[in-house]
Structure 1
């Protein structure tokens, strides 16, 4: 094998190795949690596949959003910006998850929404309480 061929083979191998490392390193979605209905309860939606198809299905007068994932059949509350607040998501079965924040975007852990009605609520410090409609 002449010197030029050897150098090209070495460079090609190095490029192939580097490319395979990039492909493997750029797949964080495979590390996302998968759940359905009751198995989603208590999980963080930001580390699950549930955030991929989530949509806001209701918003309270003070900005608490009820987020819902049809794939996971799970719901959670989210609020962006605003005053210091406590938000929570609750179901008609009494299940509840809450979080407090001093501003910025915050969300609760998920709760089961399979065959259950849920709503998101917020309590603004030095204010009152506001909830979405049941969904």
Structure 2
């Protein structure tokens, strides 16, 4: 019993002295953003992707685009539902005039744009069978 008490007291002293610390909430918060602070950021490098959901889909003849939205970050981004050919791009915009273009191929996604108290939407552009194709989501 004396040994257990000594170990507990030693652990308490280390914590009180700052030699051993618990992870701080700010360490996880550093990977997040909110609203306009998410502009241009990659959702995979934040916590925004954790609660993301599809809130709008493209309306073209080929439904290629999705608009993804994170309620915790209040940010949106576009994602190709189809496997986009090389050289494809996603333009994500909001009603405040922010716009970002991301190039890629396959099932890729764009950077984020603020969707806090504004509307956002995404358009995918790609070349297929010698012609240009565009698919845009509704605003959310």
TM, length-normalised to structure 1 = 0.71
Q: Report the counterpart of residue 72 of structure 1 in structure 2.
A: 73
Quick one: distance in 2 between partners of 1:124 and 1:86? 7
Q: Which runs of no fewer than 5 residues in structure 2 stay unpaired?
A: 1-26
TM-align CA RMSD: 2.0
When you count helix as a share of all residues, which structure comes out higher? 1
What are the equivalent positions in structure 2 for 1:28-107 lying under 5 Å apart? 30=28, 33-60=31-58, 61-80=62-81, 81-84=83-86, 85-101=88-104, 103-107=105-109
Gaps of 5+ in 1: 1-28
**What TM-score, normalized to structure 2?**
0.69
1:44-86: CA deviation from partner (whole Å, max 9, x where unpaired):
1001010000001111143111100000000011114133321
1:131 equivalenced with 2:133 (yes/no):
no
Runs of 4+ in structure 1 displaced over 3 angstroms?
A: 29-32
Displacement of 1:93: 1.8
Contact 1:86/1:124 (8 A) holds in 2: yes
Question: Residue 84 of structure 2 contacts residue 126 of structure 2 at CA under 8 Å; is this kept in 1?
Answer: no
Aligned length: 107
Name the structure with the higher strand share.
2
Deviation at 1:30, TM superposition (A): 3.7
